[in-house]
Amino acid sequence: MYPIFRFAKEMAIHARAGTLGPGGIHVSSHICWPWDVDPWMELNNGRVLTLYDLGRIPMVKRSGFLKVFKQKGWTIAVAGSSVRYRRRVRMFQRFTMQSAILGWDQRFWYLQQTMWRQGEATSSVLLRLAMTDKNGILSPAHMAGELGWSEVSPALPDYVTAWIEAEAKRPWPPEI
C-alpha cells in the first residue's frame, strides 16, 4: 500500500522550505517501519523505490514543478531507474534521504537520490523523468524556462551520460 500518510507528512514538513534549483539537495528523514520490511526484517528492496517518492515529490515541489504542472495541466512520470543497494536498513532504524536534480537532455530530466544511515550510503537510485502533457513528452528545456531556469542543463556527470548511452542500447520492447 502506498504510504499516503507519510507522503502527506513530508509535504507538510517541507511546505515552507526554501526553493531549489538544479543541483540543490532536498534532505528528508525517515524511519523503517514494520510494514516496510521483508522476511529478513530489513527494508524491502521494492519499498525502497516507494520511499524514494517521499523525497522526490517534495523536492519537485520545492523546485517549482508542481506549481507549473497545476497551471498547465502537465504531469510527471518515471521513465527509467537504476538502483544500487549496499547496506541494510533494519526495522525501526532511522535514515536520511538526499534528492537532487542533476540536469536534463533533450527528452528527460535526471535525478539522483541516496539513503544514508550513520554516514554510510545504504542505497542510491538514478532516475530519468519525463514531463508530459496530453500530446506526450515535453521538452525539458521548455520546462526549465517555465521554472525561470536556464534552458541549458548543467553538465551531466559522466556516469549519467554512460547510463543514458547504455539505456539507448537496450531493446524495446524487451527481448527475452
Q: What is the residue extent of each domain of the chain?
A: 4-169
pLDDT digits (tens, 9 = 90+) for 15-55: 889 999 989 999 999 999 999 999 999 999 999 999 999 99
- The low-confidence residues of the chain, meaning pLDDT below 70, are none
Distances (CA, A) of 135 to 128, 132, 140: 19, 7, 15
Please state which of the four CATH numbers 3.40.50.2000, 3.10.580.10, 3.10.129.10, 3.40.50.300 is assigned to the domain occupying 4-169. 3.10.129.10
pTM (global) more than 0.85:
yes
